[in-house]
Amino acid sequence: MLTAHLPSGYVLARLAPEGHRFLLPAALIGAVLPDFDMLWFYLIDQGSIHHHRYWVHVPVFWAAVAALLLPVLALWSRALLAPGLVFFAALFLHMVLDSVGGGILWGAPFSGHLFALVEVPASQPHWVLSFLLHWTFLLELGIWGWALYLWRKGRCI
Ligand SMILES: [Zn+2]
């Protein structure tokens, strides 16, 4: 997914059943956090490893962090439990959306296969153009449209 992670976090926060002042920031941060690995991907690894193989894109890593952190929040900071849940939900939404055309290590640590719903062929000179011109980009446009609709609808969080 190229462009719709941030609006997907917005949609998630807006659909959350409970209002909390940290819900929106938690959802937005969780929705984009894994892609900060692009800095490492370009600056350190020189693009040699698919960035979806970094630990920030591995579901079992975030499941383990959530399994440790959410009970702590539930016991000692119950007010932050809802933002915490939304944060991890946004992280998993990120990985689900990346699974549409990009591939995610859903089987890690038992499998090194990048699971993808569809494969986006390298039909254009640059991979970004291949993704922009593939039918799966309509999903991104749909998420943007949904987020814009909710934003215009103006429900307060
Ligand atoms: Zn990603």
Nearest Cα neighbor of 11 from 155, 134, 137, 136 is 155
Distance 22 CA to ligand 1 centre (A): 22
Distance 140 CA to ligand 1 centre (A): 13
Dig out the tokens for 27 from the structure.
């959802």
Distance 57 CA to ligand 1 centre (A): 6
DSSP 8-state symbol, 121: -
Query: What does pTM read for this prediction?
Result: 0.93
Going from N- to C-terminal start, the domains of the chain cover 5-153
Give 62's contacts (C-beta < 8 A, 6+ positions apart). 88, 91, 92, 95
Distance 71 CA to ligand 1 centre (A): 26
pLDDT tens column, 108-117: 999 999 999 9
pLDDT tens column, 23-76: 999 999 999 999 999 999 989 999 899 999 999 999 999 999 999 999 999 999
pLDDT value, residue 117: 96
When pLDDT is cut at 50, 70 and 90, the band that residue 18 belongs to is confident
Nearest Cα neighbor of 87 from 99, 72, 70 is 70
Helices (H), 16-157: 23-32, 37-43, 59-76, 81-101, 127-132, 137-153
Distance 114 CA to ligand 1 centre (A): 12
Instruction: Identify the three-state secondary structure at position 65.
Output: helix
Distance 104 CA to ligand 1 centre (A): 9
pLDDT(155) > 70? no
